[in-house]
Amino acid sequence: MITYEYENINFSIPSEFRRYFSEKWGEVKATQYCGALKMGDQTLTILPKIDKHSDAANLRYLTYMLSYVYDLKVDESVASTDTESSPILELLISIFSRELIREVEKGLYREYISVAENLRVMRGRFLAGMDARTNFVRDKIYCEYDEFSPDNPLNALFAYAVNVCRRITKSDENRRKLGMLHLMFDEVNPYYNSHATFHWHRLNERFRHLYQIALLILEHLSIRFDKAGANEWAFMFDMNVLFEQFMGKIVQSIEPTAIIQAENNFGNLKLKPDILIPNKLVIDTKYKKVNGKDELKRDDKYQMYVYGKNYKIDQTMLLYPKHIDDVNENLYLGKAGEGVALKMRSIELQSEVTNYKAYINEMKNKLKEVL
């Protein structure tokens, strides 16, 4: 089943997934979240309505945006077929499993980890305190040593992601590749710590991209297990965030000095504009409907005024997606000659091209015109 952002949903939504929807007077409505949900035997795909007439085109735009933001290697066949069965998730699983197999075949990443255990022969450092508390019969020695092991936090994350993907994929090819990975990581205890940080160096740098894909899957995936052992899941993206990241990365390709989410303190005031082009422009992205400057909220005006005055930039911009609303307005905030200029602009995400690289180049050209 396919539906679109901000449309009513005639579907029973489990309580675990209701945060992605709004409910008023008994009506359930999609919000700014797009992606897919599996509930029972049915899959609900929620797409951005960039093209009003084509499900496949809207899926393609969403896939292209994700691919650009997260540096994915796009499979055009997956991006343009089978709109209803969550090809976005299957695409990510396909890329993740294919690339991880390729890297593991070069050699499983290993690192030294500290191991403390009872042994019959001395190895490494003798732990006198633990030995005295543990070994009442002197047939073992409690010691600590370093082991060059594949059972490390990075591989644990990969093993966990492999197990999660095996449970939810419907693709025979993905299932086959994930089965191979399951055997490759059989010495690794799988776990996922969302707050873990990794130190990247020459030995594990080749896995950094795969780490980002694994996090992309795990951070946007919610799984609900029922009593019968079946699982339901939601794989959802906040279009507010995705649009901001997509525009930010394109701006950086045009203006290399641009800073995304630049957080600065001005006295006791902390500011964090979406996109900052130093000494030139402050941009805030808005994935919402606004019918011109007369409906611009007071808080948005104050926000842009504060950005301009504190960053000492007299040009600011609110940037919207055109399919939500077509906006082209100019305002001046504050006293004449002392205030901040505000442009309200929208960018067209729809395109005639059906090729990823051509689409990204077109978006860059469109944004150049807007800027």
Contact 352, 50 (CB under 8 A): no
Q: Is pLDDT of 3 > 80? A: yes
- Alpha-carbon torsion angle 110, 115, 118, 122, nearest 10: 80
The tens digit of pLDDT for each residue in 288-326 reads 888 777 778 889 999 999 999 999 999 999 999 999 888
Domain boundaries, the chain: 54-107+153-239, 111-149, 255-370
- The DSSP code sequence of 5-67 is TT-B--S---GGGGGGEEEETTEEEE-SEEEEEEETTEEEEEE--SSSS-HHHHHHHHHHHHH
Structure tokens at 249: 């990365």
Query: Residue type for 241, please?
Result: V
The tens digit of pLDDT for each residue in 79-116 reads 444 445 567 888 889 889 999 999 999 988 888 777 77
Is residue 186 classed exposed, middle or buried when 0-12, 13-18 and 19+ CB atoms within 10 A define those classes?
exposed
The CA-based angle 211-206-110, given to 5 degrees, is: 85
Share of the chain above pLDDT 90, in %: 43
SS3 307: helix
pTM over 0.95: no
Distance CA 350, CA 61 (A): 8
Closest CA to 315 of 336, 341, 346: 341
Least confident of 132-136, 260-264, 310-314, 342-346: 132-136
- The DSSP code sequence of 64-128 is HHHHHHTT----HHHHTS-GGG-HHHHHHHHHHHHHHHHHHHH----EEEEEEEEESS--SEE-H
Structure tokens at 189: 């205890």
What lies within 8 Å, CB to CB, of 180 at 6+ separation is 101
In order of 37, 38, 50, 88, 359, the CA distances from 221 in angstroms are 10, 11, 24, 12, 27
